[in-house]
Amino acid sequence: MAIRERMSGNEAMAVAMKQINPDVVAAFPITPSTEVPQYFSNFVADGVVDTEFVAVESEHSAMSACVGAQAAGGRAMTATSANGLALMWEILYIAACSRLPIVMACVNRTLSGPLNIHNDHSDSMGARDSGWVQLYSENNQEAYDNMLMANRIGEHPDVMLPVMVCQDGFITSHAIENIELVEDDKVKAFVGEYNPKDYLLNKANPISVGPLDLQAHCFEHKRQQAEAMKNAKKVILEVSEEFAKMTGRKYGLFEEYKTEDAEVAVVILNSTAGTAKYVIDQYRAEGKKIGLIKPRVFRPFPVDELTAALSKFKAVAVMDKADSFNDAGGPLFTEVTSAMFAKGVFGPKVINYIYGLGGRDVRSTDIEVVFNELLKIAETGTVESVYNYLGVRE
């Protein structure tokens, strides 16, 4: 049976890594992800895992070491946040184009500048087109569960892409919550061994990794990456279904909360979904038909499924904890509205709120502002402003 524990999101991610027992973990400390490799290094020191822990001099080196280890035929993992993820930028693309299923714990934090150690999604959103699968986690349990599923997803022969598991810095990474852990033997059986088809240390089939790729082949290789990302959606659902049979915890591409008869809804990533659920319960008690959609999978983007779910609402607010500085909306908003346009879903009025930048508190009263505006739009059919900021001093 499941093991009941209390731990932070960072410790939960580290415990998942311990249970997976990767061949190599290379990491460099950066707030608020430092605890992940810190906890894991204790497991190494205590002999609980036989992982080679590489303490590198920078995040660029951490990802480079993971690329080398994974290319050699090993299973590699790491963790980082914000500026650390930015320092990895070059190697993120190399890992993805080399089809190396590295798993990274990304503890979301504001990407400088200005310098800020608190939570928003500017780091992972900045890396959204680097070719990594991206999973988002509302709470500690989801962060742990997503980490357990990440290797299975990335290592599938139809995918072979790196996977980024995101959770909100400090809000969940450092907060203690009740959590259910899967038994070690079940995790081992679920994740399985990493048996790549091609790798550097396979003397029976010697290869090179990362050679120059010019006009004759580069386009085709990028196209293969795109197809792999497309395949990832089906694999994510298959792995999630198998995980549900093992744990009873079912995950899809996104979660719908009280949307069956909802007239309006918000679309929110990560921990703010919990605040929104609280507001929804309060408003539901007053008879207001509101709901929530919480994307779990941002890459690949679930175009067909998400647009079908959104089509039934009169008004939708997409909430972004990152800004694109394009005068057109945040990254989640532009992805959602682009998908809706492409699929011919023109029924709902859709607005955008940029919120929580630099760790600005998001209170239930802030979410009430959003729902009140949506209910007004649903009643009048009039949108006064599409691109909005929430909780900022103008």
pLDDT in tens, 324-379: 999 999 999 999 999 999 999 999 999 999 999 999 999 999 999 999 999 999 99
Instruction: Provide the pairing of β-strand 163-168 with 103-108.
Output: parallel
Q: Are residues 332 and 278 in the same domain?
A: yes
Average pLDDT over residues 151-174: 98
| 251: pLDDT strictly greater than 90 | yes
Q: What is the pLDDT of residue 210?
A: 86
Q: Are residues 238 and 275 in the same domain?
A: no
Averaged pLDDT for residues 226-232: 98
Whether residue 225 is found in the same domain as residue 89: yes
> Residue 97 maps to which CATH number?
3.40.50.970
Strands (E), the chain: 3-8, 24-27, 52-55, 76-80, 103-108, 133-136, 163-168, 176-181, 254-257, 264-267, 290-295, 297-299, 315-320, 349-355, 387-390
Segment 146-163 shows an average pLDDT of: 98
DSSP per position, 221-244 = HHHHHHHHHHHHHHHHHHHHHHHH
Burial classification of residue 131, based on how many CB atoms lie within 10 Å of its CB (0-12 exposed, 13-18 middle, 19 or more buried): buried
Enter the DSSP assignment of 156: S
Q: What is the mean pLDDT of residues 238-264?
A: 98
Mean residue pLDDT of the chain comes to 97
Last residue of a domain, one of 178, 213, 247: 247
How many residues does this entry show for the chain? 394
Residue 293 structure tokens: 């959609």
Show which of 210, 226, 247 is a domain's final residue.
247
Give the per-residue pLDDT at 1: 67
pLDDT confidence tier of residue 2, bands split at 50, 70 and 90: confident
Residues 213 and 336 occupy one common structural domain: no
Residue 294 and residue 232 in one domain: no
pLDDT reported for residue 265: 98
Q: Residue 177 and residue 189: Cα distance in Å, rounded?
A: 26
Would you say the C-alpha torsion 308, 313, 319, 320 has a positive or negative sign?
positive
Interatomic CA distance for residues 357 and 351, integer angstroms? 18
pLDDT tens across 279-288, in order? 999 999 999 9
* pLDDT 10s digits, 85-123: 999 999 999 999 999 999 999 999 999 999 999 999 999
Q: What is the CATH number of the domain that holds 379?
A: 3.40.50.920
Q: Does 384 lie in the same domain as 270?
A: yes
Please check whether residues 235 and 268 belong to one and the same domain.
no
CA distance 273 to 294: 7
Please state the rounded mean pLDDT for residues 62-88.
98
Tokens 């080399």 correspond to: 98
Same domain, yes or no: 236 and 168: yes
Q: Around Cβ 394, how many Cβ atoms within 10 Å?
A: 3
Domain shared by 72 and 165, yes or no: yes
Please tell me the chain's helix, strand, coil percentages from 3-state DSSP, rounded to the nearest 5. 40, 20, 40
Question: How many structural domains comprise the chain?
Answer: 2
The last residue of a domain, from among 204, 226, 247: 247
Can you give the residue range of the structural domain that contains 229? 3-247
List pLDDT tens digits, range 17-48: 999 999 999 999 999 999 999 999 999 999 99
For residue 165, give the nearest of 42, 244, 81 by alpha carbon. Answer: 81
User: Is 41 in the same domain as 170?
Assistant: yes
Confidence at 314, pLDDT banded by 50, 70, 90: very high
pLDDT at 201: 94
pLDDT exceeds 90 at position 211:
no
